[in-house]
Amino acid sequence: MVDKDSIDVAVNTITDCIISSADNSIPKTSGNIPKLCKPWWNTECYTCQKTLEKAWYDFRRYPTTHNLNKFKKARSKFRQIRRRSMNTTWCSYVNSITSQGSSKIVWDKVRKIFGCYSDTQNISFLNYNGQVISDTKEIGNVIGQTLSEISSESSCPNDFIAFKKCEEQKSVGFLPSYAEDYNSTLYHELKDALRKSNPTSPGPDQIHNNMLKHLGESSLLTILLFFNRIWQERVFPLSWLKAIVVPIPKPGRTSKTRIIIDQSL
């Protein structure tokens, strides 16, 4: 398996095992934006609504005068409590807009009054060379092409390109001395590295650092064997060459800040 297969097959095997175990034990969210809850909705409104629904159910099943009066009273009480809760919440929200806070907080609260929630608004179009693009796939292609052009040699000065080509022609030897103590990673070193790692976003392998921290001793020993194979055989997995590039626009500038999320394993 990990000690006999090739490096690329071994990394895929380890990744599939971790993802399979995570799917069986870690619940997933739908990824959909939840429906915005009314700020004035509270426990009292919920209780009165349940009472109203029960009264309506009794009246539909037994349409008597007593059940009708009971339903009307429950409906009247629910409307009264709902209006009172809406009024109280509105007054409290408006009173919270003061000059004591920052201008950003004040304007965020004002925008929310008009139903503008920045947390739930996604980029739906892109203006590229005077052309408005609304298709999600085309937006991704344009962003990828722009980042590729920025990283290409056409964006670099000529002296840097000449220096780069000259250095690339030199052979670099990475052959270590096998007599050194640091040639093989030890178990406590792997545990220490996991302990110091931060819970960053997962890369293309969808493995979170917290998943690795919760692995058992046998699983960590398997990963340790795999890492030592990479070090000794000097073979870099092809899947580790892939990463997720997240472009973040800079305010007032056409360029973007690039955040690269690589493999967690």
- Does residue 15 form part of some domain? no
User: How many separate domains does the chain show?
Assistant: 3
- Does residue 12 form part of some domain? no
Q: Domain check: are 74 and 105 in the same one? A: yes
Can you say whether the dihedral through the CA atoms of 92, 97, 100, 105 is positive or negative? Answer: positive
How many CB atoms are located within 10 Å of the residue 162 CB? Answer: 10
Q: Domain check: are 189 and 256 in the same one? A: yes
Instruction: Compute the distance between CA of residue 2 and CA of residue 136 in angstroms, rounded to an integer.
Output: 39
- Does residue 26 form part of some domain? no
Question: Of 37, 32, 12, 260, which is closest to residue 151 (Cα–Cα)?
Answer: 260
Label residue 147 by pLDDT band (50, 70, 90). Answer: confident
Lowest mean pLDDT among 45-54, 116-125, 152-161: 116-125
- pLDDT > 60? residue 264: yes
More confident residue, 69 or 256: 69
Q: Domain check: are 69 and 91 in the same one? A: yes
Question: Of 228, 222, 220, which is closest to residue 182 (Cα–Cα)?
Answer: 228
Q: Domain check: are 150 and 223 in the same one? A: no
Percent of the chain at pLDDT > 70 equals: 87
φ and ψ at residue 133, rounded to 5 degrees: -110, 125
Q: Domain check: are 145 and 101 in the same one? A: no
Structural domain for 147, as ranges: 135-173
Average pLDDT, the chain: 82
Average pLDDT over residues 189-195: 88
Q: Domain check: are 87 and 109 in the same one? A: yes
- Does residue 119 form part of some domain? no
- Does residue 259 form part of some domain? yes
DSSP letters of 151-205? HSGGGS-HHHHHHHHHHHTS----PPPTTSGGGS--HHHHHHHHHH---PPP-TT
- pLDDT > 70? residue 145: yes
φ and ψ at residue 166, rounded to 5 degrees: -70, -40
Q: Domain check: are 187 and 247 in the same one? A: yes
Q: Domain check: are 187 and 168 in the same one? A: no
Average pLDDT over residues 45-65: 94
- Does residue 106 form part of some domain? yes
Q: Domain check: are 161 and 188 in the same one? A: no
105-141 tens-digit pLDDT:
888 888 888 776 655 455 567 777 888 888 878 888 8
79-91 tens-digit pLDDT:
999 999 999 999 9
- Does residue 7 form part of some domain? no
Q: Domain check: are 187 and 260 in the same one? A: yes
More confident residue, 18 or 4: 18
- pLDDT > 90? residue 75: yes
The per-residue pLDDT for 1 is 67
- Does residue 9 form part of some domain? no
Q: Domain check: are 74 and 146 in the same one? A: no
